[in-house]
């Protein structure tokens, strides 16, 4: 397998290796926990060192969620996190020392402690700092995910390609934009469908064996299943694809399958930016020539909009 293909696959497998997250059963507690864990995860990605500094940096996002959950529910979530810490073997410091000062061994406990720290900071400041329009909601479904929401996913897409036609191999690339309507099926799943427009070019051989650039316009209807684990995203996608070449000739439709892995940032107002690295395979049946097979690797950058 080529190194350029191995890299995104390794990222995907690393994301899957984390397994399904253990979450509280009570819906409002689960929603708050997911929001807090996402906050912690993104802060750890950029380097969490001083707890007090991180509490101040993340206070806005923490309170935006915590203010919408009853204080009693926040207390119950605190107890649940403490129970999870006990299952990890105790405090992060004790796990760290027990494993010969191995910080990696204590990473799960440390993340739980930091999540509880943000929760307790919210508990201590909510009475004074929660704005009057953020009242406790017994049906709170979270801020940082798609749970129970209809969302619009607007994306730009770019990629490089290797195209196989019979014995001929060509390099190419393309890009475009797409818009999908999605719905959160729970705290970890989003299903979306939409439309994509773009173009692709490839260096192909003509009848005399010379190389030239062949351009093709494409339209696709992607169907996407997104698995979310706090800030981490894994997308599984299939899309029927129609093509139109530069001579306005309609080419046989095909199908594309793709997998992606990436991350989402915090939702600011109604918008949550995200970016993924993706690999895909596309097949088009023969027309006047042979069938073509394409391997793609690229990026998608988008915004999840909760209107």
Listed in sequence order, the residues at least 6 apart from 228 whose beta carbon sits closer than 8 Å to its beta carbon are 145, 146, 187, 188, 189, 190, 264
Question: Would you list the domain boundaries of the chain?
Answer: 23-129, 150-305
* pLDDT tens string 11-68: 444 444 444 568 999 999 999 999 999 999 999 999 999 999 999 999 999 999 999 9
Overall pTM > 0.95: no
Listed in sequence order, the residues at least 6 apart from 291 whose beta carbon sits closer than 8 Å to its beta carbon are 165, 283, 284, 285
- What is 150-305's CATH topology? Porin (2.40.160)
Rounded Cα distance between 109 and 107, Å, is 6
Q: Tokens in use for 7? A: 């890299």
Rounded Cα distance between 35 and 19, Å, is 18
Q: Tokens in use for 72? A: 């009693």
Q: 119-147: buried (b, 16+ CB within 10 Å) or exposed (e) per residue?
A: bebbeebbeebbeeeeebeeebbbbbbbb
Listed in sequence order, the residues at least 6 apart from 237 whose beta carbon sits closer than 8 Å to its beta carbon are 222, 223, 224, 225, 256, 257, 258, 259, 260, 278, 280
Q: What is the pLDDT of residue 6?
A: 46
Rounded Cα distance between 249 and 264, Å, is 39
Q: What is the mean pLDDT of residues 134-143?
A: 95
Angle (CA) 179 180 185, round 5° = 160
Q: What is the pLDDT of residue 207?
A: 59
195: number of CA atoms within 13 Å, CB side? 2
Q: What is the pLDDT of residue 214?
A: 77
Q: What is the pLDDT of residue 203?
A: 72
Question: Residue 256 belongs to what H/E stretch?
Answer: strand 250-264
* pLDDT tens string 182-201: 999 988 999 999 999 999 88
Over pLDDT 70: what percentage of the chain? 88
Q: What is the pLDDT of residue 246?
A: 67
Q: What is the mean pLDDT of residues 152-168?
A: 89
> Are residues 275 and 300 in contact, defined by beta-carbon separation less than 8 angstroms?
yes
Rounded Cα distance between 200 and 289, Å, is 19
* pLDDT tens string 201-259: 877 665 555 566 778 899 999 999 999 999 999 999 999 999 887 666 667 889 999 99
Cross-strand partners of 233: 228, 262
Range of weakest confidence among 142-151, 168-177, 191-200, 284-293? 284-293
Using DSSP's 3-state secondary structure scheme, residue 205 falls into strand
> Average pLDDT of the chain?
89
Q: What is the pLDDT of residue 216?
A: 85
Res 111 pLDDT > 90 = yes
Q: What is the pLDDT of residue 5?
A: 42
* pLDDT tens string 124-136: 999 999 999 999 9
């Amino acid at each position: 397998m080529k190194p350029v293909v191995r890299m995104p696959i390794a990222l995907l497998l690393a994301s899957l290796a984390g397994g399904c997250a253990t979450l509280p059963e009570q819906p409002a507690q689960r929603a708050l926990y997911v929001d807090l864990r996402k906050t912690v995860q993104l802060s750890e990605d950029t380097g969490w060192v001083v707890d007090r500094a991180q509490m101040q940096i993340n206070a806005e996002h923490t309170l935006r969620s915590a203010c919408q959950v009853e204080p009693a529910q926040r207390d119950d979530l605190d107890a649940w996190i403490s129970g999870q810490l006990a299952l990890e073997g105790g405090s992060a410091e004790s796990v760290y020392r027990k494993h010969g000062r191995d910080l990696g061994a204590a990473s799960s406990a440390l993340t739980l402690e930091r999540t509880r720290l943000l929760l307790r900071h919210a508990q201590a400041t909510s009475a004074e700092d929660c704005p009057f329009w953020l009242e406790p909601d017994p049906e709170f479904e979270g801020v940082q995910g798609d749970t129970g929401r209809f969302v619009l996913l607007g994306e730009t897409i770019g990629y490089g390609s290797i195209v196989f036609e019979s014995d001929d191999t060509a390099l190419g690339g393309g890009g475009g934009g797409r818009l999908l309507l999605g719905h959160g099926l729970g705290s970890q799943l989003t299903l979306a469908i939409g439309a994509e427009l773009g173009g692709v070019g490839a260096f192909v051989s003509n009848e005399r064996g010379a190389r030239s650039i062949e351009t093709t316009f494409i339209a696709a209807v992607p169907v996407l299943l997104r698995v979310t684990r706090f800030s981490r995203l894994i997308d599984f996608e299939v899309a029927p694809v129609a093509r139109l070449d530069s001579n306005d000739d309609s080419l046989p439709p095909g199908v594309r399958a793709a997998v992606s892995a990436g991350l989402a940032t915090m939702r600011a107002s109604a918008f949550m930016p995200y970016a993924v690295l993706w690999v895909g395979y596309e097949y088009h049946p023969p027309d006047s020539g042979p069938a073509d097979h394409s391997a793609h690797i690229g990026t998608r950058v988008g915004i999840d909009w909760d209107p």
